[in-house]
Amino acid sequence: MIDRIYEAAVVPELWPGVLHDVSELAGCFGGILFTTAARQITHWTSSDGARSLFEGFLANREAQEDNIRLKHGIAAKHHGFFGNHQLYGRAEMERSAIYTTFFFPQGLGYAAGSILPMPNGDIAVFDLERRFSDGPVSAEEIARLDAIRPHLARAAALSTRLNLEKARAVVEALGQAGMPAAVLGAGDRVLAANQALQALSRQIVFLAHGKLGLSDPASNQLLTTTLAALGRRDSTSSIPLPSADEAAAGVLHVLPLPGNARDVFNGAKALLIVTQLDRPTSPTAELLTGLFDLTPSEAKVARCLSEGHSTDEVAAALGLSRETVRFYLKGVFAKTGVSRQVDLVALLSGTALPNAG
């Protein structure tokens, strides 16, 4: 089991199987692993036996708002596994919505868990569920879990650090191409920012708690709104950066990074890229194309659109039907994170996409 725990650190698809085996050590029917920032669940995965349970929990707002398990678990600061019965008594369970509206009606209520602080500031939670009729998790079962907890903690930390390194590698590579960039994580905290972006101190400011803001009030409000609506089709993805003193005007592009749904430690939420309007030459988009994994046909369509051509003009220039161009455009939208042609043009304008064969 220990070998598979460390394998899951680099192959997140293995976590469900690991969680199943860990839950069996404590006589539980399923395990859940999730990360949380500011008391909001950011990523999660689970064993097959607990998946529908956690999906139901995420759909139950009342239970989430009265999550005494998480509240008491964090407050306990216990460096090990614990049974929920050790945090509070039956009377408090009967007063709590998470039990009365969610666990008790399903014949559930007892569990074992552990809280782990992560290198990126998030909190990882291991939650192992058992049926109420089976009673509380025993001291012997907790001891079995504590024996493997150091390995779970190291694997979780390793996975988080690997993802932080990926974020740094992306922004540094963009920096080498002359493009200011940053990656934001849960709670809109900055996970990585290159020197080119940090140099834009007249327009972009670094705030308390690892956050980032814009000097212009109107643009900053637009950034706040955009990040709050990230992932929705109607969210704005291009934000103007007015000139400030000697700093030229630019455009800040906000691109969602959905990542691998099973990668519970993938804290990246958004990629920010600045297009500076005073550049003497257009930056290459080879790196962007690689990041977005555009196909050759998608790259051709994107390149033509970035040059200001309409969909019909692109179809005529490439010898394609309008429907085919729209098909490729749909793929470009999905991979770049924008949902409107005007946002795509804003992102790629002035950027020479490589010839696609």
**Dist CA 335 CA 351 (whole Å):** 17
Stated pTM of the model = 0.60
**Dist CA 131 CA 124 (whole Å):** 23
Q: Among 93, 40, 95, which Cα is nearest to 267's?
A: 40
What fold characterizes domain 177-279? Answer: Beta-Lactamase (3.30.450)
**Dist CA 83 CA 130 (whole Å):** 11
The alpha-helical segments, DSSP class H, found in 15-138 are 15-25, 48-58, 61-65, 68-76, 90-95, 97
Taking only the tens place, the pLDDT of each residue in 40-99 is 787 889 999 999 999 999 999 899 888 999 999 999 989 899 999 999 999 999 999 999
Note whether 2-160 and 177-279 share their fold: yes
Cα distance from N-terminal residue to C-terminal residue, the chain: 48
Q: Using an 8 Å Cβ cutoff, are 255 and 271 in contact?
A: yes
Instruction: List the chain domain ranges.
Output: 2-160, 177-279, 281-357
Strands (DSSP E) found in 100-155:
108-117, 123-131
Q: Which is the CATH superfamily of the domain at 2-160?
A: Transcription factor LuxR-like, autoinducer-binding domain (3.30.450.80)
pLDDT at residue 270, rounded to an integer: 85
pLDDT in tens, the chain (357 residues): 888 898 888 788 889 999 999 999 999 999 999 988 766 787 889 999 999 999 999 999 899 888 999 999 999 989 899 999 999 999 999 999 999 999 999 999 999 999 998 776 778 899 999 999 999 999 999 999 999 999 998 888 888 777 778 888 888 888 887 889 998 887 788 888 999 999 998 899 998 888 899 988 888 888 888 888 875 544 546 787 877 777 777 788 888 776 554 456 666 778 898 877 655 443 344 544 554 567 778 888 887 887 778 999 999 999 999 999 999 999 888 776 567 787 677 666 544 344 444
Residue 150 has a CB neighbour count (10 Å cut-off) of 12
Q: Does domain 281-357 have CATH number 3.40.50.170?
A: no
CB neighbour burial string for 290-319, b if at least 16 within 10 angstroms, e if fewer? ebbebeebbbbbbbbbbbebeeeebbeebe
